[in-house]
Structures are given as structure tokens and as C-alpha cells.
Structure 1
Amino acid sequence: MEESGLNPTQVIDSYPDGLDNIVEISQILEASHVSELCKELPPRTIARSWQLAYSTSRHGASLKSLYRKLSATDSPVLIVIKDELDETFGAFLSHPLRLSETFYGTGETFLFMLHPRFKCFRWTGENSFFIKGDLDSFAIGGGSGHFGLWVDENLYLGRSSPCYTFNNCCLSQTDDFRVMELEVWTFT
């Protein structure tokens, strides 16, 4: 936090109630990450508590398990990934991940990069390829055969490509990446 120029009191005071615990619980998120994300989240998440619904280090690496953990929620979700090159990125989803025949979700959905720099990629209006859940992978954003973010059933291999939905750059340093940690947060 010293590098960011913020002292702990300033960061915690800027959070809605309960968010100061996120940094203690998360294996990925730092105070500066939470602060940046709070500025981008839609109004319906403000003053809601963040709950860690799924983490590969706590719950294992299985997409089926992730779907089961999210099956009872109607909350939007925040997916945060740390890859093997120490890059941190993810997606805010208007609806929880689930198995789906087609893409679903709304324009609230967005992709983001947290480390080494913060950048947010919002809906362009080009298409409505927001969220897609299959048995063997999930995808966020799409167009012309490319997904903004794609992760396999073992929550280990991923790919990020520019896509029409968000007009994003590759979220990771390389198109293909290995997931070292994946966390899914809900808002209650």
C-alpha cells in the first residue's frame, strides 16, 4: 500500500461497510484493486457485502463445483484470476455463472485488468455475447470466434483475446495463460 501512496486508513474508509475484510480473505485482491473495482461496479452492488463464493485454493479446481456453489444465488458475480505470470484480471458478470445453451447477461457485464495496471472494458453494444457456461468451459465476451475471457473445466487453462463485445485487449500478457488462483465473489 505504501507504493500506491495510500495509507491503510484512507483505503478502508473509502470502502462501503464490510469490504475491508476482502483483502484479508482474498489470495489475489489488494486494497488498491478493491478500491479501483468499487469505482466501476454498478449501483446495485453499492453497500452490499462481498462474499467469497468460490476459490480454487479453498474449493478445488472444478467448473462443476463452481456451478454448484453459484446455483443458489441470483447475485452478480466478480471473477478474479491470477495467472502464472502474476497478472491479475477478470470479469464482473451481471448474472452468476451457470450452464447455458446460449449467451446471457446484460450490458452491466465488463472485463478488467488489475495488475500490472488497471483498465476496464465495458460493453460496446456490438453484440450481446456476455456470459456462456458449458460443461467444459465458460466464456465472457465474444465475436468472430474469439472470447474476451475463456477458462477450461479444470479452471487451470485460459485464453484471452480481443472481442467485439468489449473491444478489449488481451487481459493476460500472452493469449494463453495458466490460472494460479481463481476467486468468485458475490454481493449480498
Structure 2
Amino acid sequence: MIPKHCANRYYYMCMNEFLAFGGGGSFALCLDEDLLKATSGPSETFGNECLASSTEFELKNVELWGFAHASQYLSS
């Protein structure tokens, strides 16, 4: 099920070359492999415009969070 505020399921894409969020048209936010540069543009997924003052920019700080859940297939 796609949430009402999202137009598609292009929530994120993680490749060796980049980490991107949103899609359809362009990425809402795309970080390069070194986490030094980024781009932002209109995304159909989230219905956003560019999220920065320009479409290409350098990153000063990056904080990424992840969540893990216990799996019945992992042994202690």
C-alpha cells in the first residue's frame, strides 16, 4: 500500500555509487558514494521541489540512522 502523501514506492535506493531518496522525475535527495556531494530535485514520490538552494551542493555533515529488528533466523 502506498501512503496517501506518496505518488509511488520509490522511497530510497542504495547503490555502491549513491544513496537516493524519492524518485519519478529526479531524486528528492541523492548523496554520492563518498558522502561529500549531493543533488536534489523535484520528486514525484514526495511531491517536493528542490530541497536546497541549488540542485547540486557539497555536504558539510551527514548523520544516517538505521533500524534493525530481531530475526527468527539469526542465532545468538
Q: TM-score range by the shorter chain?
A: 0.7 to 0.9
Indicate if the aligned counterparts of 2:6 and 2:47 stay in contact, CA closer than 8 A. no
Mark the runs of 5 or more structure 2 residues left unpaired by the alignment: 69-76
Give the aligned length. 67
Q: Which 4+ runs in 1 deviate beyond 2 A?
A: 185-188
Q: Say if 2:38 is the partner of 1:158.
A: yes
Tell me, in whole angstroms, the C-alpha distance in 2 between the residues paired with 1:133 and 1:187: 15
Q: Say if 2:71 is the partner of 1:181.
A: no
Indicate if the aligned counterparts of 1:124 and 1:164 stay in contact, CA closer than 8 A. no
Indicate if the aligned counterparts of 1:137 and 1:152 stay in contact, CA closer than 8 A. yes
Query: Structure 2 matches for 1:1-188, cutoff 5 A?
Result: 107=3, 124-144=5-25, 146-186=26-66
Give the superposition deviation at 1:124.
2.9
Normalising by structure 1, report the TM-score. 0.33
The Cα offsets for residues 61-101 of structure 1, whole Å up to 9 and x where unpaired, read as xxxxxxxxxxxxxxxxxxxxxxxxxxxxxxxxxxxxxxxxx
Mark the runs of 5 or more structure 1 residues left unpaired by the alignment: 1-105, 108-122
Question: Match for residue 117 of structure 1?
Answer: none
Give the superposition deviation at 1:187.
6.0
Supply the AA of the counterpart residue of 1:172.
A
Give the superposition deviation at 1:162.
1.0
Normalising by structure 2, report the TM-score. 0.76
Name whichever structure is richer in helix by fraction. Answer: 1
Distance verdict in 2 for CA 1:186–1:138, change over 3 Å: closer
Give the superposition deviation at 1:171.
1.1
Provide the secondary structure at the position in 2 that maps to 1:185: coil
